[in-house]
Structure 1
Amino acid sequence: MSSDVPDPGPDEDVAARVERVRIEDEMEQSYIDYAMSVIAGRALPDVRDGLKPVHRRILYAMHEMGVSSGSSHRKSSSIVGETMGDYHPHGDSAIYDTLVGMAQEFSMRYPLVDGQGNFGSMDGDPAAAMRYTEARMSPIAEELLADIGKDTVDFSPNYDDRLTEPEVLPSSFPNLLVNGSTGIAVGMSTKIPPHNLQEVIDATVHLIDNPDAEVADLMEYIKGPDFPTGANVVGKDAIYSAYATGRGRLTVRAEFEVEERESGGDRIVVTELPYQENKARVVERIADDVNEGIIEGVADLRDESDRNGVRVVVECKRGANVEVVKNQLLEHHLESTFGMINLALVDGQPQVLTLKETLAEYIDHRKEVVRRRSEYDLAEAEDRAHILEGRLKALENAEDVVELIRDAEDRDGAKEALREAYGFSVDQADHIVRMQLGSLTSMEAAEIESEYESVQAEIERLETILDSESELLSVIKDELRDIAETYGDDRKTSILEDEGTVTREDLIPEEDVVVAMTADDYIKRMPAAQFDPQRRGGKGIIGGDPKDEDRITTVFRANTHDYLLCFTNRGQVYRLKTYEIPEMSRTARGKSAVNLLDLDDGEQLTAVVPTDDLDAEECITMVTRHGYVKRTCAAEFENILSTGIIAAKLEDNDELVDVEVTDGSMDLVVATEGGMTIRFDEDEVRQMGRSARGVRGIDLQDGDAVAGLVATSDDDERSLLTVTANGYGKRTPLSEYRRQSRYGKGLIDIKTDERNGPVRSVKAVSEDDHIVVMSDRGQIMRCPVADISTVGRNTKGVVIMTVEEGDSVASVDVLPSDSGTAD
Structure 2
Amino acid sequence: MAESDKENIIPINIEDEMRGAYIDYSMSVIISRALPDVRDGLKPVHRRVLYGMLDLGLTHTKSHKKSARIVGEVLGKYHPHGDTSVYDTMVRMAQHWSMRYMLVDGQGNFGSIDGDSPAAMRYTEARLQHIAEEMLGDINKDTIDFQPNFDDSLKEPVCLPSKLPNILVNGTSGIAVGMATNMPPHNLSEVIEGIKQYVDNEDITISELMQYVKAPDFPTGAIIYGYQGVKSAFETGRGRVVMRARAEITESKTGKPQIVVSEIPYQVNKASMIEKTAAMVNDKRIDGISDIRDESDRKGLRIVYDLKRDAVPNVVLNNLFKYTQLQSSFGVNNVALVKGRPYTLNLKQIIGYYVEHRHDVVVRRTQFELQEAERRAHLLQGYLIALDNIDRVIEIIRGSRDPETARNSLIKEFELTEIQARAILDMRLQRLTGLEREKIESEYDEVLKQVAYYNEVLGNRDLRMGIIKDELDELNQRFGDERRTQIVHSAEDIGIEDIIPNEPMVITISHKGYIKRNHIDEYRSQARGGVGSRGASAKDGDFTEHLFIANTHNYLLIFTEMGRVYWLKVFEIPEAGKAAKGRAIQNLINIPATDGVRAVINVKNLDDPDYINNSHIVMCTVNGTIKKTVLEAFSRPRVNGINAITINDNDRLLDVNMTDGKSEIVLAVQSGRAIRFPEDEVRPMGRNAAGVRGISLDSGEDRVVGMVCLDDADEKTLLVVSENGYGKRSDIDEYRITRRGGKGVKTLNVTSKTGKLVSIKKVADQDDLMIINKSGIMIRTPVSNLRVMGRATQGVRLIRLNNDDSIASVTKVEIEDSIKSSQEEINPASTDTPASEEETT
The TM tier, using the shorter chain, reads 0.5 to 0.7
Relative to structure 1, is the Cα distance of residues 770 and 483 closer, same or farther in structure 2, using a 3 angstrom cutoff?
Answer: same
Q: Counterparts of 1:800-811 in structure 2 under 5 Å?
A: none
Amino acid at match of 1:464: E
1:104 to 95, 120, 126: 95
Q: Which has the larger radius of gyration?
A: 1
Matched, 1:269 2:233: no
1:291 to 282, 290, 300: 282
When structure 1 is superposed on structure 2, of 368-377 and 311-320 the one drifting more is 311-320
Relative to structure 1, is the Cα distance of residues 310 and 444 closer, same or farther in structure 2, using a 3 angstrom cutoff?
Answer: same
Q: In the alignment, which residue of structure 2 is the partner of 1:701?
A: none
- Structure 2: distance between partners of 1:662 and 1:172: 62
Relative to structure 1, is the Cα distance of residues 561 and 29 closer, same or farther in structure 2, using a 3 angstrom cutoff?
Answer: farther
- Structure 2: distance between partners of 1:471 and 1:781: 75
Q: Deviations over 1:612-645 (max 9, x none)?
A: 975545449xxxxxxxxxxxxxxxxxxxxxxxxx
CA contact (8 A) 1:770 1:783 kept: no
- Structure 1: distance between partners of 2:448 and 2:277: 69
TM-score computed with the length of structure 1 as normaliser? 0.63
Relative to structure 1, is the Cα distance of residues 136 and 9 closer, same or farther in structure 2, using a 3 angstrom cutoff?
Answer: closer
Matched, 1:661 2:613: yes
Relative to structure 1, is the Cα distance of residues 9 and 337 closer, same or farther in structure 2, using a 3 angstrom cutoff?
Answer: closer
- Structure 2: distance between partners of 1:713 and 1:225: 47
Amino acid at match of 1:480: L
1:335 to 319, 324, 327: 327
Amino acid at match of 1:408: S
- Structure 2: distance between partners of 1:153 and 1:49: 11
- Structure 2: distance between partners of 1:268 and 1:712: 40
Q: In the alignment, which residue of structure 2 is the partner of 1:316?
A: 307
Q: Deviations over 1:755-775 (max 9, x none)?
A: xxxxxxxxx8565x88469xx
- Percent of paired sites with the same residue: 46
Amino acid at match of 1:369: V
Matched, 1:481 2:473: yes
Relative to structure 1, is the Cα distance of residues 300 and 617 closer, same or farther in structure 2, using a 3 angstrom cutoff?
Answer: closer
Secondary structure of residue in 1 paired with 2:491: helix
Shift of 1:715: 4.9
Q: Counterparts of 1:181-192 in structure 2 under 5 Å?
A: 181-192=172-183
Q: Deviations over 1:316-349 (max 9, x none)?
A: 2224222212222222221101111111111111
CA contact (8 A) 2:58 2:127 kept: yes
Q: In the alignment, which residue of structure 1 is the partner of 2:273?
A: 282
- Structure 2: distance between partners of 1:478 and 1:712: 61
Shift of 1:268: 1.4
- Structure 2: distance between partners of 1:65 and 1:165: 14
Shift of 1:207: 0.5
1:222 to 197, 208, 213: 213
TM-score computed with the length of structure 2 as normaliser? 0.61
Relative to structure 1, is the Cα distance of residues 346 and 612 closer, same or farther in structure 2, using a 3 angstrom cutoff?
Answer: farther
Amino acid at match of 1:476: I
Matched, 1:148 2:139: yes
Q: Deviations over 1:170-200 (max 9, x none)?
A: 1011101111101011111111111111111
Shift of 1:528: 12
Amino acid at match of 2:488: L
Matched, 1:91 2:43: no
Relative to structure 1, is the Cα distance of residues 67 and 408 closer, same or farther in structure 2, using a 3 angstrom cutoff?
Answer: same
Task: Point out where structure 1 has 5 or more consecutive residues left out of the alignment.
Answer: 1-6, 502-526, 531-556, 563-610, 621-659, 667-710, 720-732, 735-763, 774-779, 789-796, 799-823
- Structure 2: distance between partners of 1:399 and 1:308: 74
Relative to structure 1, is the Cα distance of residues 766 and 271 closer, same or farther in structure 2, using a 3 angstrom cutoff?
Answer: farther
Q: Deviations over 1:576-623 (max 9, x none)?
A: xxxxxxxxxxxxxxxxxxxxxxxxxxxxxxxxxxx9975545449xxx
Q: In the alignment, which residue of structure 1 is the partner of 2:357?
A: 365
Matched, 1:254 2:245: yes
- Structure 2: distance between partners of 1:766 and 1:304: 61
Shift of 1:712: 9.8
- Structure 2: distance between partners of 1:438 and 1:115: 48
Amino acid at match of 1:440: L
Secondary structure of residue in 1 paired with 2:398: helix
- Structure 1: distance between partners of 2:685 and 2:231: 47
CA contact (8 A) 2:614 2:660 kept: no
CA contact (8 A) 2:661 2:680 kept: no
Relative to structure 1, is the Cα distance of residues 421 and 456 closer, same or farther in structure 2, using a 3 angstrom cutoff?
Answer: same
CA contact (8 A) 1:173 1:201 kept: no
- Structure 1: distance between partners of 2:271 and 2:82: 29
- Structure 1: distance between partners of 2:3 and 2:288: 87
Relative to structure 1, is the Cα distance of residues 712 and 339 closer, same or farther in structure 2, using a 3 angstrom cutoff?
Answer: closer
- Structure 2: distance between partners of 1:252 and 1:396: 74
Q: Deviations over 1:384-419 (max 9, x none)?
A: 000000111111111221122112222111111111
Q: In the alignment, which residue of structure 2 is the partner of 1:749?
A: none
- Structure 2: distance between partners of 1:238 and 1:613: 28
Q: In the alignment, which residue of structure 1 is the partner of 2:417?
A: 425
- Structure 1: distance between partners of 2:689 and 2:277: 44
Number of residue pairs aligned between Structure 1 and Structure 2: 554
Q: Counterparts of 1:436-447 in structure 2 under 5 Å?
A: 436-447=428-439
Secondary structure of residue in 1 paired with 2:73: helix
CA contact (8 A) 2:222 2:484 kept: yes
Q: Counterparts of 1:148-167 in structure 2 under 5 Å?
A: 148-167=139-158
Q: Deviations over 1:23-71 (max 9, x none)?
A: 4344333322211110111001111000000000111111112122122
Amino acid at match of 2:362: V
Q: In the alignment, which residue of structure 1 is the partner of 2:622?
A: none
1:351 to 340, 343, 354: 343
Matched, 1:117 2:108: yes
Secondary structure of residue in 1 paired with 2:93: helix
CA contact (8 A) 1:147 1:373 kept: yes
CA contact (8 A) 1:114 1:137 kept: yes
Relative to structure 1, is the Cα distance of residues 500 and 260 closer, same or farther in structure 2, using a 3 angstrom cutoff?
Answer: farther
Q: Counterparts of 1:672-751 in structure 2 under 5 Å?
A: 715-717=662-664
Shift of 1:152: 0.9
Relative to structure 1, is the Cα distance of residues 182 and 772 closer, same or farther in structure 2, using a 3 angstrom cutoff?
Answer: closer
Secondary structure of residue in 2 paired with 1:498: coil
Shift of 1:433: 1.1
Q: In the alignment, which residue of structure 2 is the partner of 1:465?
A: 457
- Structure 1: distance between partners of 2:132 and 2:686: 72
Relative to structure 1, is the Cα distance of residues 354 and 528 closer, same or farther in structure 2, using a 3 angstrom cutoff?
Answer: closer
2:317 to 315, 326, 334: 326
Q: Counterparts of 1:209-248 in structure 2 under 5 Å?
A: 209-248=200-239
Relative to structure 1, is the Cα distance of residues 712 and 63 closer, same or farther in structure 2, using a 3 angstrom cutoff?
Answer: closer
Relative to structure 1, is the Cα distance of residues 49 and 781 closer, same or farther in structure 2, using a 3 angstrom cutoff?
Answer: closer
What is the aligned-residue RMSD (CA, Å)?
3.5
Amino acid at match of 1:363: V
Task: Point out where structure 2 has 5 or more consecutive residues left out of the alignment.
Answer: 494-558, 569-601, 617-657, 667-676, 697-738, 741-841
Amino acid at match of 2:399: D
- Structure 1: distance between partners of 2:156 and 2:116: 34
Matched, 1:455 2:447: yes
Structure 1 segments, 4+ long, off by >3 Å, are: 7-10, 17-21, 23-26, 527-530, 557-562, 611-620, 711-719, 764-767, 769-773, 780-783, 785-788
